[in-house]
Amino acid sequence: MILASASPRRKEILENFGFSFKTVVKNVDETSNKDTVKEKIMEIARKKAIAVAKDFPNENVIGADTMVVINNKILGKPHNRQEAFEMLKSLSGKNHEVITAFSFINLEKNITYCDYEITKVYFKNLTDEEINWYIGTNEPMDKAGAYGIQGKGAFFVEKIEGDFFSVMGFPLGKFVRFLSESGFDLNNLEKI
């Protein structure tokens, strides 16, 4: 299996579950002209997987993408400290959705599957001091929505409704159910 992502969080989630894989990343255009956020995120996950699958047509390739959405606005990765501050301020005291899509492709076996998971995350009210402290850790700079639930950003989260791993970057439960329902042997994860 090949993970078409450089995300250390996705790598950690899959390794901890017992999957054996290599990581291959291609530069792809991470934009979409689709109408809905769900369609956009699935298209981006698919693009990532297809770009790698073309070089490894007989391998199972996984692509994934995560978006944070509040009031129909997509929050990507912040470009600077000010943008991170504004994102976190907009999430303060509210709930938002984290949508993570995955694409599973094997060109030789003609397998193309894409799905997504939506998790609702509730933030406590954040003070400017708390936001600035967090930005000072540099943790928010490579994360959609400017926070990581598995790190110091957990301090901001009051509760979640849905899949924790999806917020972290990969919808593990939905992915494993897909494999099981597709006839893959979960007793041999290293051979998937």
Residues designated as active site: 65
Give 69-111 as a DSSP string: EETTEEE---SSHHHHHHHHHHHTTSEEEEEEEEEEEETTTTE
Whole-angstrom Cα distance, residue 46 to residue 65? 9
CA-closest candidate to residue 7, choices 166, 192, 186, 181: 166
Whole-angstrom Cα distance, residue 121 to residue 110? 36
Give burial (CB, 10 Å; 0-12/13-18/19+) of 136.
exposed
Whole-angstrom Cα distance, residue 12 to residue 89? 29
Give 4-54 as a DSSP string: ----HHHHHHHHHHT---EE-----------SSHHHHHHHHHHHHHHHHHT
